[in-house]
Amino acid sequence: MLDCAIIGGGPAGLSAGLYASRGGLKEVVLFERGLPGGQITQSSEIENYPGFYEHGKTGMDFMDTWQEQCFAFGMVHRMEEVKGVRKDGDHFIIDIAGKESVEARTVIVATGSTPRRAGVKGEDELFGKGVSTCATCDGFFYKDKEVAVLGGGDTALEEAHYLSNICSKVYVIHRRDTFRAAPSTVDRVKRTANIELVTDTTIEEIVGDAMGVIGINIKNKSGEVSYLEVPGVFVFVGHNVNNAVLKDESGEAICELNENGQVIVDLNMRTSLDGLFVAGDLRIDAAKQVVCAAGDGATAALQVISYIQEQA
Ligand code: FAD
Ligand code: NAP
């Protein structure tokens, strides 16, 4: 039986893995369906992790050594997708896609969040054919071309700035005239010559053919509709939490969630189910920052160590 199963290998899961393995737990396994690193590996630049300030470093560069540090202290990574977590008496059962279930004394769930779709006509049909949620992955396809970015948060504006280095022009389409993004980011975008902020405007339809996106129909506050010819549309309209592993076959959650599906935890990352901890973007009131997710992971692992000592 594992001392601790960690589900999700973003900043929260990896930080939990480091603290749990370095804190003396014997069997610490991180289940991550892909390569560890989490959503920050999609970021073109990270500049707000304290002590790490190197202009132009990507999220991928930044996360590179996190898993190595965990492996050095004995944490094991299994590249597997967890289907569900169940409690059976005093321990947990981790159901893994296509593999035998695994037993664990404690579980830290750090499955983070996933980019949301905007629900615009044409978005789903053209996803991967000109519609993207990752500028780092797909921006280069639009070198010297015009693209549109949808959204007014930190992700939309930061990624618009990244795209402005590659593309000839970036239209930022935002439904309001004020931005959710940090003021410094808004200023930087406003100072960028080839970014045009198209505010109080929504995308009515993403238009395309068998080859992919051709353009977008946009509508402003006064109801005027116009067309922008762009081969790429980047959608950055927030995230949904990945809480599926915490639901049973009937869809019931095994611990308390709030109305947005975020897991209710206390300051020690304890959920309403004994022995189950949640860290990072998945929890209530998450600041959705790498440094905060990493802090949560460390807190959860320290609690797991105390919990196991108390049970012994
Ligand atoms: P995640 O990073 O979402 O990691 C969760 C992991 O769980 C994923 O790797 C996923 O594959 C895995 N997983 C999910 N379900 C399962 C399953 N069933 N089985 C196995 N594995 C599973 N924050 C900053 O502080 N600074 C920034 O500059 C910044 N820029 C950002 C730019 C972009 C484009 C994005 C998208 C986010 C940015 N953020 C930034 C936010 C930051 O990335 C997140 O807050 C942080 O990654 C959350 O960490 P997490 O560990 O909670 O979850
Ligand atoms: P977000 O802050 O929730 O912003 C989403 C944006 O999309 C908002 O401007 C919202 O408009 C708009 N929007 C939502 N649904 C829409 C729809 N259906 N159609 C059109 N527009 C829609 O999401 P985010 O930018 O991904 O950021 C998520 C979290 O990660 C935040 O807490 C953010 O601070 C953090 N993050 C931080 C950094 C950083 O620190 N450097 C970088 C990236 C992300 P309204 O404003 O009108 O609601």
Q: Which of 137, 200, 248, 285 is catalytic?
A: 137
Q: Residue 47's pLDDT band (boundaries 50, 70, 90)? A: confident
The pLDDT of residue 54 is: 81
Q: What does pLDDT average to over the chain?
A: 95
Residue 137 has pLDDT above 90, yes or no: no
The pLDDT of residue 312 is: 78
Q: What is the 3-state secondary structure (H, E, C) of 268-294?
A: CCECCCCCEEECHHHECCCCCCHHHHH
The pLDDT of residue 83 is: 97
Q: What are phi and psi of 216, to 5 degrees?
A: -135, 145
Give 128's contacts (C-beta < 8 A, 6+ positions apart).
none
Give 22's contacts (C-beta < 8 A, 6+ positions apart).
73
Q: Which of 4, 88, 124, 138 is catalytic?
A: 138
Residue 44 has pLDDT above 80, yes or no: no
pLDDT in tens, 175-231: 999 999 999 999 999 999 999 999 999 999 999 999 999 999 999 999 999 999 999
Q: Residue 134's pLDDT band (boundaries 50, 70, 90)? A: confident
Q: Domains in the chain, please, with CATH?
A: 2-115+239-311 (3.50.50.60), 131-235 (3.50.50.60)
Q: Which two tokens stand for residue 271?
A: 């959920």
Q: Pick the closest to residue 216 from 126, 91, 312, 100 (CA basis).
A: 126
Residue 136 has pLDDT above 90, yes or no: no
The pLDDT of residue 8 is: 98
- Of 16-25, 38-47, 118-127, the least confident: 38-47
Name the residue of 283, 290, 299 to mutate for ligand 1: max ligand atoms within 8 A of Cβ.
290
The pLDDT of residue 254 is: 97
Query: Distance between CA atoms of 16 and 70, rounded to whole angstroms?
Result: 9
Name the residue of 44, 175, 197, 219 to mutate for ligand 2: max ligand atoms within 8 A of Cβ.
175
Task: Look up 137 and say whether it is catalytic.
Answer: yes
Query: Distance between CA atoms of 199 and 280, rounded to whole angstroms?
Result: 32
The pLDDT of residue 111 is: 98
The pLDDT of residue 67 is: 95
* Protein residue with least CA distance to atom 32, ligand 2: 288
What is the value of pTM for the model shown? Answer: 0.85
Gap from CA of 99 to ligand 2 centroid (Å): 37
The pLDDT of residue 43 is: 81
- Of 49-63, 65-79, 80-94, 255-269, the least confident: 49-63
Q: Residue 57's pLDDT band (boundaries 50, 70, 90)? A: confident
Query: Distance between CA atoms of 67 and 216, rounded to whole angstroms?
Result: 41
Within the chain, residue ranges assigned H as helices are: 11-22, 59-63, 66-72, 135-138, 154-164, 183-190, 290-311
Task: Look up 187 and say whether it is catalytic.
Answer: no
The pLDDT of residue 138 is: 86
Q: Mean pLDDT over residues 58-64, rounded?
A: 91
Q: Residue 288's pLDDT band (boundaries 50, 70, 90)? A: confident
